[in-house]
């Protein structure tokens, strides 16, 4: 199977990787929907709750600064590094990710090659004026004041730069992802259950517009029946076997 995958990647011009939480579990970051996933052990705070309730904002920041998702000290694993190495050799390649951990960037993928559908948890921003805030500064102020942070520029609500439950998907990123899916000749899904929509529509769009559709995941997914190739093995091992 990896021989076929190797040939498809070698031949591809407009390669797109589409990654989910499964690629980051080897970095110590739990997935969201598995048996031990975050949503099985912790109730998510919805966007409207965060906006309307100071108590919910306090709860959200307390979770964040307790490093609930184990993101703060996580490092890229072999899967991230292998994707970065492949993309360096495929200059028209692009990566769409549902992850918020910044590990693809840390592995060497350039910012202009990445579209983050669910934002980024390694910094925060004001919901009103979009001013960026670094988390360490917010943490120190939070520990001193015991108040949820507000913007120094406009007094707006500050939130981690992620898309929460109940929050609209970013329009610009969705449009770019759809464009990249349509342009792709090979669309490879890595470490995603393909159950979260509208993101899971992207591989279907790629397939319908002529791309080969590949799934690399430890378990079966909701879209296996549409794929040209499904590989249910360790992600890092599969990607390490690609030789360009």
Tally the residues of the chain: 244
- Write the DSSP symbol of residue 174: H
Q: Rg (Cα) of the chain, in Å, rounded?
A: 19
Q: How many CB atoms lie within 10 A of CB 99?
A: 24
In this structure, are residues 149 and 158 in contact, taking their beta carbons and an 8 Å threshold? yes
Task: Spot the catalytic one: 80, 104, 118, 146.
Answer: 118
Verify whether residue 146 is a known catalytic residue. no
Query: Which residues fall within 8 angstroms of residue 217, CB to CB, at 6 or more apart?
Result: 22, 189, 190, 191, 192, 193, 230, 231, 232, 235
Which residues belong to the active site? 118
């Amino acid at each position: 199977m990896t021989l076929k995958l190797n040939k498809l990647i070698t031949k591809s011009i407009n390669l797109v990787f589409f990654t989910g939480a499964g690629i980051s579990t080897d970095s110590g970051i739990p997935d969201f929907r598995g048996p031990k996933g975050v949503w099985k052990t912790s109730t998510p705070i919805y966007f409207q709750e965060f906006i309307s309730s100071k108590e919910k904002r306090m709860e959200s920041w307390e979770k964040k600064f307790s490093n609930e998702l184990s993101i703060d000290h996580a490092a890229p694993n072999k899967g991230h590094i292998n994707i970065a190495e492949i993309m360096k050799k495929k200059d028209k390649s692009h990566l769409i990710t549902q992850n918020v951990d910044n590990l693809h960037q840390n592995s060497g993928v350039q910012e202009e090659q990445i579209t983050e559908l669910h934002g980024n948890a390694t910094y925060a921003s004001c919901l009103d004026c979009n001013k960026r805030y670094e988390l360490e500064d917010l943490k120190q102020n939070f520990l001193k004041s015991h108040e949820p942070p507000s913007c120094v520029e406009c007094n707006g609500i500050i939130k981690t730069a992620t898309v929460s439950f109940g929050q609209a998907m970013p329009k610009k990123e969705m449009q770019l992802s759809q464009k990249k899916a349509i342009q792709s000749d090979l669309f490879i899904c890595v470490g995603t259950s393909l159950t979260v929509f509208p993101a899971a529509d992207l591989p279907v769009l790629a397939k319908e517009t002529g791309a080969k559709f590949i799934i690399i995941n430890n378990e079966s997914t909701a879209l296996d029946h549409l794929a040209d190739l499904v590989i249910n093995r360790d992600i890092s091992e599969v990607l390490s076997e690609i030789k360009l």
